[in-house]
Amino acid sequence: MGMYLRTTQRKNKNGTTVRYVQLAHNRRVGGTTQAEVVHNFGREDQLDTDGLRRLVASINRYLGEDGADAAAPAAGAACR
């Protein structure tokens, strides 16, 4: 199964919501699938988006793909 970005969220006592971004993949455990977190990127409001773009560009270089367009988010795309 493939890897993907996922978000989790929690509510603070004051009612605000904090979201976290993680790199995960699904693993089959006892007949059901379970998300396994590979890397936690931290709070969404403190996310190093430039660092994520560099990571995407690095992966694209490794795969031999032109990373010029791949590092830019698609129109209407959001990290969720």
Render pLDDT for 69-78 as a digit per residue (tens, 0 to 9).
544 554 444 4
Give the helix, strand, coil percentages of the chain, each rounded to 5. 30, 40, 30
Every domain of the chain and the residues it spans: 3-70
Output the average pLDDT for the chain.
Answer: 85
Contact 68, 53 (CB under 8 A): no
Q: How far is Cα 9 from Cα 11, in angstroms, rounded to an integer?
A: 7
pTM for this structure?
A: 0.69
Residue 53 has pLDDT above 70, yes or no: yes
Share of the chain above pLDDT 70, in %: 81
* Each residue's pLDDT tens digit, 14-40: 999 999 999 999 998 888 999 999 999
